Amino acid sequence: MRIAVLIKQVPDSDEIKMDPDKGTMIREGSGNIVNPLDLNALQAALDVKKKCGADISVISMGPKQADIALREALALGADNAYLVSDRFFAGADSWATALALAVTIIKTGPYDIILAGEKATDGETGQVGPEIAAMLDIPCATYVSFMDIDDMFVTVKRTVEDGIETQRLYLPALITVLSDINDPAMPTLSGKKRARRSDISVISAADIDLSSEEVGLAGSPTRVVKIEHPKITRHTEFYCGKDIEHGIEHVMKVLKELAIL
């Protein structure tokens, strides 16, 4: 069995800066980590490998420094690593990102199953996984909190608003997972040593036959046209002593006006 795991390097900071002109994130100057839900996806792949054997390839799209995230995945037990990196990929929206990753999956595959985190902390759109599945014309399940592979099928449980939904999909399929699916393991010393020595294949736009107009900002049909930061304002009133009863009446009045009571 061959498994592809899509991982993303994201900023390890709440102080994210945005380029107001391009509407893209400024990643320089902040620490980076592997997107947490992608670690759950990798652990799901490792669990399959332990159960029935599998060859695991991790694929990431990003700048050259994203190889750090790939080496972390190799340290955890992945077998192969591919970095989709090219200056033409800069500023890609979810669609352009999905296109580059989908073509890379075709080039490095075929794979029996593709795993990814439900969303990334730096965008939280949850769009890339389903878009890749649509481009590859394969079944897709999102919000997955349980997965079991049996022969030609994968059975999943999806955590949705109304409860738990069970689906059975033909392979190959793409699955995006939630943190409920497992607890990611920590890398071992031997795994870190192996990861340090491992080669990472770098794939450019030319390698996957994509033109500069199809990828990056030029190939992105969506744009961030305006960035706003929420402003929190408060008007505080204190009641004490003889004013407490009046204060309670005022609070009750306000809650009723807000339809809370």
- pLDDT for 167 equals 94
pLDDT digits (tens, 9 = 90+) for 137-152: 999 999 999 999 988 9
The domain tally of the chain equals: 1
- pLDDT for 161 equals 86
245 domain-assigned: no
176 domain-assigned: yes
218 domain-assigned: no
114 domain-assigned: yes
59 domain-assigned: yes
The CATH number of the domain holding residue 178 is 3.40.50.620
- pLDDT for 122 equals 76
Nearest to 154 by CA among 177, 179, 135, 173: 173
Segment 160-174 shows an average pLDDT of 93
- pLDDT for 211 equals 85
What pLDDT band is residue 200 in, cutting at 50, 70 and 90? very high
Range of the domain at 169: 2-203
184 domain-assigned: yes
The percent of residues in the chain predicted with pLDDT above 90, rounded, is 51
